Copies of this chain bind each other. A is one copy, B any other.
Amino acid sequence: PDELREKAKVIIQPIEPAKIDHPAKVDLGRQLFFEPRLSMSGIISCNTCHNLSLGGVDNLKTSIGHKWQPGPVNAPTVFNASLNFVQFWDGRAANLQEQAAGPIQNPIEMGMPHTLAVAVLQSIPGYVDEFKKIYGTDQIAIEQVTDAIAEFEKTLVTPNSRFDKWLKGDDKAITAEEREGFRIFYDSGCIACHNGPNLGGNSFQKIGVVEPYKSTSPAEGRAAVTKKDEDRWYFKVPTLRNVELTYPYFHDGQAKTLEEAVTLMGRLQLGRTFTDDEVKKVVAFLHTLTGERPQMPLPLLPPSGPNTPRPDPFK
């Protein structure tokens, strides 16, 4: 028996495949996730910033939103977001449904008032039918929109990473170097914050425990929600699942590479200066956390109706 694995299993759980309770809702949610008509410009959908062909992110320091406005923080992945205890870097949304109400009407994201978003959907006969079948009403409501999106997002899990295979008993799933990287990760204390099925996503922690983090970003973290000074620089610990795919790193997207992120975490959170060799091994371990991305059909969206409001993106 591998002692390291036994210790690991106590604090990290493998990602399980999604259980789909309501396939019609998931289908509707997928359409809405890819729906550019939910944006003021007509071209931005959830998938623009959380690209499911990539790592559920846009791989930008900060996102490009309505009229090319820069976002305030780095876009986190939607993969395995259902496993996070709260949503957003500062945790201001309790769950995925609550979260999904944000970006549509955010003026620097999709820029679309909810009343107009609902009017657009209500003008599209295909959507009216689908919502009616699922929610039993003729009048689409924003809570239904966000409920369907959340239900779809719950399917966006990434099981069967090499690390999970190792965790489940397959010795050959990871190399000796990767295992050693995990040992360093475990022994040096990363695991204190990056644990649970998401290796993160289950607590707020301060960035800069031992040494302050220098950032030009105005984001202040959890304090934005609690208004308490002691919560400044506390952010939801991000998942390390698929972290290979979710560059750049940190809430401000300032770290370009995993090497940089790991080096900084060692110093700022643990007061530890890793050697190049240690960094290399930890990064090798982090690459074993890439799981199977969900496969899905490209959704075909229902045609606009005669009265579907038309966007005017250069206004």
Contact = CB atoms under 8 A, between A and B. Distances in A.
Interface of A: 31, 34, 36, 41-43, 48-49, 51-55, 58-60, 64, 67-68, 70, 244-245, 247-248, 256-257, 290, 293, 295-301, 303-304, 306, 310-311, 313-314
Contacts of A59: 42, 304, 310-311
Contact of A256 (B42, B303, B310, B313): B310
Contacts of A55: 303
16 contacts: A34-B53, A36-B54, A42-B58, A43-B58, A59-B310, A59-B311, A64-B314, A67-B68, A245-B303, A247-B310, A257-B306, A290-B303, A293-B300, A295-B300, A296-B297, A297-B298
Q: Which A-B residue pairs are the 6 nearest by beta carbons?
A: A68-B68, A53-B301, A298-B298, A296-B298, A293-B300, A34-B53
A48 B43 contact: yes
A70 B68 CA distance: 12
Given A68-B313, A68-B314, A295-B298, 10 more contacts: A43-B48, A43-B51, A54-B301, A59-B304, A59-B310, A244-B303, A247-B304, A247-B310, A256-B310, A295-B297
Which of A31, A55, A247, A303 is packed against the most chain B CB atoms within 10 Å? Answer: A303
A111 to B, nearest CB: 12
Q: How many copies does the complex hold?
A: 2
A64 B297 contact: no
Nearest to A59: B42
Which of A43, A49, A301 is packed against the most chain B CB atoms within 10 Å? Answer: A43
Contacts of A36: 51, 54, 58
Given A34-B53, A68-B68, A60 B299 contact: no
A147 B51 CA distance: 25
Contacts of A31: 53
A299 B53 contact: yes
A194 B313 CA distance: 31
A313 B61 CA distance: 9
Contacts of A70: 314
A242 to B, nearest CB: 9
A214 B268 CA distance: 65
Nearest to A301: B53
A301 B257 CA distance: 19
A115 B70 CA distance: 27
B303 A64 contact: no
Contacts of A310: 59, 247-248, 256
Contacts of A53: 31, 34, 298-301
A310 B36 CA distance: 25
